[in-house]
Structure 1
Amino acid sequence: MMFLRMNTGAQADLPPRAVGIWLVLVCLAIAAMVAIGGVTRLTGSGLSITDWRPITGAVPPLNAADWQSEFEKYMGSPQHRLVFPDMTVEEFKGIYWWEWIHRFWGRMIGVVYAVPLAVFWLRGMVPGSWRWKLLLGLALGGAQGALGWFMVQSGLVDRPSVSAYRLAAHLGLAVLIFGLLWWWALRVLRAGRAVEPVPGWVRRGLLLLGVLLGVQIFYAGFVAGTKAAMAHPAFPGLGGSFFPSPASWLEPAWKNLFENTSWIAFLHRWLGVGLAGGGGLLAAWFAASGPRGLRPAALLLAALLAVQVGLGILTTVLSRGSIPVLPGTLHQANALALLALALLLLQATRASHLPRPPGPRKC
């Protein structure tokens, strides 16, 4: 017990527990939003609404005339001209609803965030040091909505798909918002609980795991935006070779990281395998020597990492002609669960600094 410390740092400056619970609920809503966004993308629905009306757009088409009006707008889009030229109004409704649900859910997250924040603020439940943090969350949410429309615009001009760069930015910002709010929620909800000492390498490993998980999810935006899985629906190789063929390399070299499907697929796959291996080693240490209270979370992390690799492989090998919706969506949602567990373990631990044993006395 002598090396345990309590997570009491400036507890007087922490909001009440209700704020932490509210942040968890917002995080769950964001995770659902990411999953809905995955379904929207995989069903080809993301370009079905060709304008951005933040307020009036919350009301869907209510009659045949409304549906015809929306369909006529869509008929002018590159996706309709080049991908679905024979689509009927009834078929259009199927893709329209997914995009409408995606946008409506985003609006609801804004309400679920802004209204309770105002209530907590007016009741004096938000300490001064936390006001800028929670306002930052609100600002990032607004930026995410604008970035989503900026992404959609890239698929409404001359190409029937969105920019991979904008898609990755949209997904990356969602992950950043989720990570920030989850971290703040843990700070509030774990106040007064023991922070367990672990070896420095374990703590650094957890930090690296969390950072690389965020990078991996962000990079998945390029996998999705370039349809790298469809270009290389095989594992462990790329459908012809294990390593990206030099004949496919782009100039300048940096473009291979973001535009070359063989490099994108290769890096995303093997970073994922590396993360699973590293996470497994950390979980093995927790199981053998770690704090007992954190072992279930560490073992769950290892299990979900294995599931994530399996879902990634399944999605890849089934991506012949189109990307399967269910495994692709589960793969995306599970990634956020992994990030949440890694941040939980990071929040609940600290690097231990045991005193060195005394050396031999000099004469």
Structure 2
Amino acid sequence: MSNLFRPAAAGPARPLAIARWLECVAVLVVMIVVVGGITRLTESGLSITEWNVVSGILPPLTQGAWEAEFAKYRATAEFRMESGPAGMDLAAFQFIFFWEWFHRILGRVIGVAFLLPALVFALRRAVPAGYGWRLAAMFALICGQGALGWYMVSSGVGNTDLTDVSHFRLSAHLLTALFLLAGLVWTARDLRQLAKDAGARPARLTAGTAVVVAVLFVQVLLGAWVAGLNAGHAAYDWPLMNGRLVPEVDWSQGAVWTVTHDPFLLQFLHRWWAFVAVAALVWLARRVRPVARFDSLAVNIAFGTMVLLGIATVMSGVSLWVAAAHQLVGALTVVATVRAMHTLGWANRGAATPAQA
């Protein structure tokens, strides 16, 4: 890989240009996370029953094509079991079809927006030594996301008993997207530092920030399970749940099944683990404040807004746009957290403070 990107006769490296490109891709990833959330909230994910990589780029363009797509959707368990006595008309189907189609189109846009510039930078030998494998790994993640997305959808389309996609596959899809987002931001920060100092080495993850990652992983996982199981509708009051501090939970199917499937317990865990995440992020913000005030402020604003939107999501009865805003700020919290972690990684190794850009 290093021979491909930086041979002996390599051209001038372009770390700043590559950093800016990766930041643009990161913006697209934030967008697709939000659109994916709207797709789940509107239960649009099973509206397209096939995965056509090329022909699926265009939506149906004629009345007959729309009727054909609608007929495929009417054959799914979701339509048969959840459309209600009045059923669903074509206009309602077109609404949910749009969100799933837009979600898939954004995935293709991200793939192209990453691959084409990567090839240009590689052919011009402009990728700094040691970064080629990172770009290759991120492109593999993008491709894997497409496959994982269809694997998730197929769990609902191909099952006669389920009316939703598997919440396990949904969580894997979301966590992979956020891992890609973190990789884009971290690598862009490394490259910005390299643009300032040709001898700069990549930042390292510290033990403390690794704990923050673990805490946030649990919170995002719980949030994905809440979304996948429609557990946000288990209770609409806060801080109590249906008038109780601790909800009634049926443990008759075993502890493992209950912890991974019971909507009341999962909403409860997601609510209160959030404050463990807040404690971890407060620690991160305080640690990074002497080094980079902006990073500290960004973390505080992000998690504060996210908590408020989480409460608003519950109390609004899972309003579409409030819940979508909650997911948007969740992705931005990942960005702010990664920036702060990267800054601490530099500070703890005695390096100069990364460029605050």
Match of 1:314 among 312, 315, 318: 312
Please name the residue that 1:88 is paired with.
89
Distance 1:211 1:94 in 2: 37
* 2:338 is the counterpart of 1:343: yes
Distance 1:257 1:55, change over 3 A: same
> Per-residue deviation at 1:13?
11
Q: What SS does the corresponding residue of 2:131 show, helix, strand or coil?
A: helix
Match of 1:264 in 2: 266
For residue 225 of structure 2, the aligned residue among 197, 222, 232 is 222
1:61 counterpart residue number: 60
Q: Determine what percentage of the aligned residue pairs are the same residue.
A: 32
Contact 2:47 2:100 in 1 (8 A): yes
Contact 1:210/1:339, CA 8 A, preserved across alignment: no
Instruction: Say if 2:284 and 2:340, in contact at 8 Å, map to a contact too.
Output: no
Counterpart of 1:17 in 2: which secondary structure?
Answer: helix
Which structure: larger Rg?
1
Q: How does 1:81-230 map to 2 (within 5 A)?
A: 81-84=80-83, 86-156=87-157, 157-158=159-160, 159-191=162-194, 192=196, 204-230=207-233
User: Aligned AA for 1:324?
Assistant: S
Alpha-carbon separation, structure 2, partners of 1:182 and 1:286: 17
Under a length normalisation based on structure 2, what TM-score does the superposition of the two structures give?
A: 0.85
State whether structure 2 residue 329 is matched by structure 1 residue 334.
yes
Q: Distance in 2 between matches of 1:163 and 1:185?
A: 33
From 277, 298, 301, the counterpart of 2:299: 301
Q: Aligned equivalents of 1:131 and 1:303: distance in 2? A: 34
Q: Aligned letter for 1:301?
A: V
State the Cα distance separating 1:249 from its structure 2 match.
2.0
State the alpha-carbon separation in 2 of the partners of residues 36 and 296 from structure 1: 28
Deviation at 1:16, TM superposition (A): 2.0
Question: Which runs of at least 4 in structure 1 moved beyond 6 Å after TM superposition?
Answer: none
Task: Give deviations 1:42-62, integer Å, cap 9, x for gaps.
Answer: 112111111110111001111
Provide closer, same or farther for how the CA distance between residues 261 and 13 of structure 1 changes in structure 2, counting only shifts above 3 A. Answer: farther
Whole-Å Cα distance in 2 between the matches of residues 49 and 237 of structure 1? Answer: 38
Match of 1:78 in 2: 77
Quickly say closer, same or farther: Cα 1:141–1:283, change in 2 above 3 A. closer
Name the residue aligned to 1:8: none
CA distance in 2 between partners of 1:37 and 1:102 (Å): 6
Shift of 1:343: 1.3
Aligned length, in residue pairs? 329
The alpha-carbon deviation at position 209 of structure 1 amounts to: 2.3
Cα-to-partner distance string for 1:144-168 (whole Å, 9 max, x where unaligned): 1111111111112222111111111
In the alignment, does 2:25 pair up with 1:41? no
Q: Matched residues in 1 for 2:169 and 2:73: separation? A: 21
TM-score with structure 1 setting the length = 0.84
Q: CA RMSD in A?
A: 2.5
**Does the 8 Å contact 1:40/1:99 carry over to 2?**
yes
Deviations 1:255-313 (A, max 9, x none): 233112222112211121222234235435655xx13xx11221221122111111111
The DSSP-based 3-state class of the residue aligned with 1:124 is: coil
Q: For residues 324-344 of structure 1, give each alpha carbon's deviation from its aligned partner in whole angstroms, at most 9, with x where no partner exists.
A: 111111111111111111111
CA, structure 1 residues 142+226, in 2 after alignment: closer, same or farther (shift >3 Å)? same
